[in-house]
Structure 1
Amino acid sequence: MLATSLIIVTSVYFLMNIGLIFIWLSGKPYKIQAGGKEPLAISIIIPVRNEAANIIRLLQDLEIQSYPFDKFEVIVADDDSTDGTLTLVKDFQRQTSMRLLINQLPAKTNNTSPKKRAIDASIQLAKGELIVTTDGDCRVGKNWLAVIASFQAETGAYLVSSPVTFINDSNSFLAKLWQQIQTIEFSSLIGSGACAMLIGKPNMCNGANLAYLKSVFGEVGGFSGNENLASGDDEFLMHKVAAAYPGKVRFLKHQEAIVETQAHQSLQSFYYQRKRWSSKWRHYNNPVTTALAVFIFLSNFSIILTAVLCFLQVIPAEKAVIILFAKFSAELLFLILILSFLNKKRLIWLIPVVQLIYPFYVSFFGLIAQGKNEYIWKGRKLQ
């Protein structure tokens, strides 16, 4: 009976991944159409705290955008940096030709999310009709803004989620391997979130590459209702927009829209971020999204349970093989497709290794997220 239940759970997971594969393949990459609607003016908001090592590279990327300078502005929201970030941005501001504003936030005195506070305060200053958010440790291609603006103008989307992946630039073998493992793990989230949007059922996105109408941000109440949560500057807002305006949340499937961000350098920073992410599902008002999160946990926990029961000879080896095949086969094909789109084909060989780790990772964070949620972010303890 137990083996049958495990087979059922993983078989449903197999079918879900088959569905994701078909959805991804049916979602054709976006192609810019000549002579379309006039794109909107854009305000790029970059919340930063202690990003001295990265922020100038991002600003340099923005300085060479193919999108006209008179059509966008950049707002760097400095959240009490202590490492020289603000000085670097001010120096860059003096010599750049693009419109660069610095929003120096007052010292944080309450328990609101620092990132939500930075974005909200910057939107008040923004002159653009389309808000685009990214992070201070990101890199963008020269056509990044042009593709986002064209897609939004053509589709009339109120919120556009675009792809994110990790930078794999370490010279150390172990450090680079750690970056690559994170890249594969993260690609599964990006891919599944994209597929949900492609069928009009958005469930996740990433604030490192998000665009939305300034007017719509105000209409749905911005971050009100979850401003005290450390996470969710992206997903909670997306859920609000999707609920208020069905069909207006879209995923931009275009390789020039990809943003690359820094992978975590330490296990501790990875732990705090994933704990923060995994705790969000309890606050979703969408029962489908909550049920999906629970099912993903059960699917992965089933693999651990299968291994233990097979070792104890509670379930026969042939049934364990069926369970493992159902869990890993279609998932492998889906990850290959997503990594190929993200220009990470060279990591395909590492997918089976990550697949073996993933059930323990999901089960661990799914369980600890039920406890007291405290995180360290940029040197601060948040809840």
Structure 2
Amino acid sequence: MTLFLIAVSLLYALFTLILWITWVRIPFFKPLAAVPHQPYISVVIPVRNEANTIGKLLADLNQQSYPQFEVIVADDSSSDHTVSIVRSCVQSVSFNLQLLALTDEPTSSPKKRAISQSIAQAKGDLIVTTDGDCRVGPAWLATIASFYQSTGAKLISGPVTFTAEHTVSDSLQTVEFASLIGSGACTMALGMPTMCNGANLCYEKQAFSEVGGFSGIDHIASGDDEFLMHKIANRYPKAIRFLKSPEAIVSTSPHQSWKAFYNQRKRWASKWRMYQSWGPSLLAVFIFLSNAAPVLAVVAWLFNTISSSTALLVIGLKALPEFLFLRQVLLFLQKNKQVPTIPLTQLIYPVYVVFFGLVAQQTGYYWKDRKLK
């Protein structure tokens, strides 16, 4: 037991230090003063009951400095005022805004259906996806277009964080989310992309077509971002990039209810069983074991199976490299005030990972008030 815990912790410490160094070495992107050729962008926003937020997002899009874009809002049978709000904006915004009403038919993945139907009528060379509860800055699309011109990337993953934190729960979610964004960025930089977030994602429409869109993964409820990224990465292994720029940050609200948080994290955790390549699956298992190690160490110490020094070593090997990495990512995301929250997150996170790793083995969860398999 002792050797296993120390070995896993040492490997995790090395892994996290590599992430930290990789993150620091990812250069900040400074947008070009002018994009030589302005690609036309189609912003796709799948929505369901987003009346409280969709108007703010459309207002943000109306302030974009980049002129060459359209917006497709794919409404998935909203029962609130989402549709009427979007319709009222059609005449008032300066960009081409389309409302796409989706048919309320049974599907394993409503979000993939919404994106696919939107892309089918999109005019853009680039597809940019975000969510109806997000906020974006005025240089968001201009930064994406400039990065695309500079790199020729087939898929661009952008940074996502939460809006202002008001509770301890909000802060904990911000730190946890920063770890996911940072880890995904580093694995892309290392040429082994593992995760991204559909709230800030860009890819070529042609690349989407070349890999068959969501074909082969359309039966999986989640993964409209990660599984598509893996498909494009298989075809273009060197064309997956992370956009490290403050101007590209997208923000969304943290969950205010345990039920919503539970269903989202269960949905995320359940994806590891569906990975078609061994890399992401192996990483998921490794992260689970690494977070289980300090929990097991504490339990073993309480039962006098290992010494207190061994337990502290296991905890320290996880906590110290993590702090260095998370601090750098939070500073980039302009979440300086959340740095002191890292130790509290580290105290809770191992139990949280073990819990959702086990819960994810059960099928079925709710998304947007729908039971999905």
TM range (shorter): over 0.9
SS at structure 2 position matched to 1:73: strand
**2:345 pairs with 1:354:** yes
Q: CA deviation at 1:344?
A: 0.3
Q: What displacement does 1:269 show?
A: 0.6
Amino acid of the residue matched to residue 2 of structure 2?
A
Query: Which among 204, 211, 233 is matched to residue 213 of structure 1?
Result: 204
- Residue 154 of structure 1: CA displacement? 1.1
- Describe the superposition over 1:244-284 as per-residue Cα deviations: whole angstroms up to 9, x where unpaired: 11101100010110000121110111111111110101111
Q: Name the SS for the 2:132 alignment partner.
A: coil
Q: Deviations over 1:187-240 (max 9, x none)?
A: 100000000111211100000000000011010010111112110000000000
Aligned to 1:328: 319
2:146 pairs with 1:150: yes
Measure how far apart 1:328 and its partner are: 0.5
Q: Please list every run of 5 or more consecutive structure 2 residues that lacks an aligned counterpart in the other structure.
A: none
Deviations 1:139-164 (A, max 9, x none): 00000000000001110000000000
Contact 1:45/1:119, CA 8 A, preserved across alignment = yes
For residues 347-375 of structure 1, what are the alpha-carbon distances to aligned partners after superposition, in whole Å with 9 as ceiling and x for unaligned? 1111100101000010011111112x211
The Cα of 1:168 is off from its aligned counterpart by 2.2
Q: CA deviation at 1:295?
A: 0.4
State which of 364, 367, 370 in structure 1 corresponds to 2:361. Answer: 370
- Residue 182 of structure 1 aligns with which residue? 173
Q: What amino acid is the match of 2:85?
A: L
* Aligned 8 A contact 1:36 1:154 in 2: no
Q: CA RMSD in A?
A: 1.0
What's the counterpart of residue 194 of structure 1?
A: 185
Q: Which runs of structure 2 are paired with 1:52-71 in the superposition (5 Å)? A: 52-68=51-67, 71=68
Q: Is the 8 A contact 1:37 1:154 kept in 2?
A: no
Is contact 2:100–2:118 with CA below 8 Å preserved after alignment?
A: yes
**TM-score after normalising by structure 2:** 0.98
Q: Decide whether the 8 Å contact of 2:165 with 2:171 is kept in 1.
A: no
- Whether the aligned pair in 2 keeps the contact of 1:143 and 1:256 (CA below 8 Å) is yes
- 2:282 match: 291
| Equivalent residue in structure 2 for 1:162, among 158, 162, 187 | 158
Matched with 1:33 is 32
Whole-Å Cα distance in 1 between the matches of residues 93 and 31 of structure 2? 29
User: Counterparts of 1:35 and 1:98 in 2: how far apart (Å)?
Assistant: 20
Find the residue that maps to 1:354 and give its secondary structure: helix
1:89 is matched with: 86
In 2 relative to 1, CA 169–294 (structure 1 residues): closer, same or farther, beyond 3 Å? Answer: closer
Q: Is the 8 A contact 1:140 1:258 kept in 2?
A: yes
User: 2:244 matched to which residue of 1?
Assistant: 253
1:239 aligned partner, one-letter code? H
Q: Secondary structure in 2 aligned to 1:46?
A: strand
What CA deviation, in whole Å up to 9, does each residue of 1:98-119 have, x standing for no partner? 1101101111x22331110100
Give the aligned partner of residue 100 of structure 2. 103
Q: Given residue 208 of structure 1, which amino acid in structure 2 is its aligned partner?
A: A
Count of residue pairs the alignment pairs up: 373
- Mind listing any 5+ residue stretches in structure 1 that lack a counterpart? 171-175
> Shift of residue 167 of structure 1?
1.2
Q: Distance in 1 between matches of 2:9 and 2:38?
A: 45
Shift of 1:35: 5.7
Tell me the residue number matched to 2:125: 129
Q: Which amino acid aligns with 2:9?
A: T
Provide the residue aligned with 2:17 in structure 1: 18
Distance 1:166 1:194 in 2: 17
Distance, in Å, in 2 between the alignment partners of 1:355 and 1:89 is 41
Give the equivalent residue in structure 2 for 1:73.
Answer: 70
Q: Which letter maps to 1:72?
A: F
Render the CA deviation track for 1:18-54: whole Å, top value 9, x for unaligned: 1011101111101223465413100000000000000
| TM-score where L is the length of structure 1 | 0.96
Instruction: Please name the residue that 2:370 is paired with.
Output: 380
Partner Cα distance (2:370, 2:254) in 1: 19
